[in-house]
Amino acid sequence: MNTPQTGPADNTRTISLTVTQRCNLACIYCYEHNKSAADMTFGTAKRILDDELRFGAPKENTYLEFFGGEPFLNFPLIREVYDYVRSFYRGKLRFHTCTNGTLVHGEIQAWLKAHPDFSVGLSADGTRYAHDLNRPGSFDKIDFDFFLQNYGYQPVKMTVSALSLPYLAESVVYLTEKGFDVSCNLAYGIDWSAAENKAVLEEQLEELIAYYLAHPQTKRCRLLDFSIATLARPDTGGNTVRKYCGTGTSMVCYSVEGEAYPCQFFTPLSAGERALPLREAYFTRDIDRTLLPGDCRSCYFLRICPRCMGSNYLATGDLYRPDENYCALHKLIFRANAKFKALEWERGMLALSPDEEQALLRSIAAIQEF
């Protein structure tokens, strides 16, 4: 579901239910700073779904996502909601959740195996050492084989903290060679200001580039899979730029109390007193460029930037202004993508049409100027 170059599909809608504010881990990069013992009730979930599905004209592809905290801490509600939707709204929803995996054993595994239309994404941060730096003592509680056998089509969500950054390449290779696709990103909402982060990130990306060049059939992780050739093609967006996700338009996140928010970053669980209900904010599919800071408007990487309005809001108080340190690291990532593509091109590893080749080479040359 990650489409950073094109934005969310117009016929897709995601309804996210925060089924619990509890979590059994304490990840060092977690942006949910207001956890509590609160759970969503079935009555609240039913009201939301009846409003969304009876009167909300579901899109062609409607996803019901169970969110937390750790969603499986409220497994009884997940099961009850699934049964209700399948009884009354047959065929209108696809079910999904993302989990830290530590509770997915026994009864939960059995239920998931019996309901293959319920997809589950695993959040795991690499090798045992790197993972446990971020989530102490949790690696050995995950049944990786279960997720690979049943949800191998679903990329593992790997979050990189400043602590685990020196093990980025090793961790991506580890998960890749276990058989997973890897969707990795730098953690939002943490302090990335240390000067050494740039050197470490560059070193780790170099290691990954070397690995992929030696294993050309291996699927690339997200950090080295940006469509940089897009930057050399005509910009048809006019005065707008596509959003990175469907925040506030094709996506809605409901708190445990049943209030609607643009996404999970804006809920009280994450934003506390600064929570921004959907009714108090205006979102469009495309972003008016004039709303962006001047340095963003003029940035060569604007069209492929994985901007997150929610994390911007938490970090800077502005939907459109990113954390400057996070931004600087992503410019290094884009340069690494250009170097990687140049090396693949030199080795004849890319099957491109003449137009695609010219666009790629123009983008590489432009990026080298930065």
Tens-place pLDDT, residues 161-197:
999 999 999 999 999 999 999 999 999 999 999 999 9
Looking at 57-61, 103-107, 360-364, which range is the least confident one?
57-61
**CA Rg value for the chain:** 21
Give percent of the chain above pLDDT 90: 87
Q: What is the mean pLDDT of the chain?
A: 93
> Quick one: tokens of 351?
């099957």
Report pLDDT for 56.
57
Q: Is 271's pLDDT higher than 80?
A: yes
Q: Is 131's pLDDT higher than 50?
A: yes
User: What is the SS3 assignment for 241?
Assistant: strand
Q: How many CB atoms lie within 10 A of CB 110?
A: 10
Report pLDDT for 61.
82
Q: Are 100 and 135 in contact (CB under 8 A)?
A: yes
Between the two ends of the chain, the Cα-to-Cα distance in Å is 30
Strands laid side by side in the 251-254 sheet: 118-122, 94-99, 61-67, 12-18, 251-254, 260-261
E strand residue ranges, 173-233: 182-186
pLDDT tens-digit series, residues 101-125: 999 999 999 999 999 999 999 999 9
6 half-sphere exposure, CB direction, 13 A CA radius: 6
Q: Is 98's pLDDT higher than 80?
A: yes
141 half-sphere exposure, CB direction, 13 A CA radius: 15
Report pLDDT for 5.
31
When pLDDT is averaged across residues 270-294 and rounded to a whole number, the result is: 93
Report pLDDT for 58.
55
Report pLDDT for 91.
74
- Residue appearing with tokens 């690339």: 220
Q: Which helix (H) or strand (E) holds 160?
A: strand 156-160
Distance in angstroms (rounded) separating the CA atoms of residues 320 and 297: 10
Report pLDDT for 12.
83
Distance in angstroms (rounded) separating the CA atoms of residues 243 and 278: 17
Report pLDDT for 90.
74
Q: Is 8's pLDDT higher than 60?
A: no
pTM for this entry: 0.93
pLDDT tens-digit series, residues 241-269: 988 899 999 999 999 999 999 999 999 99
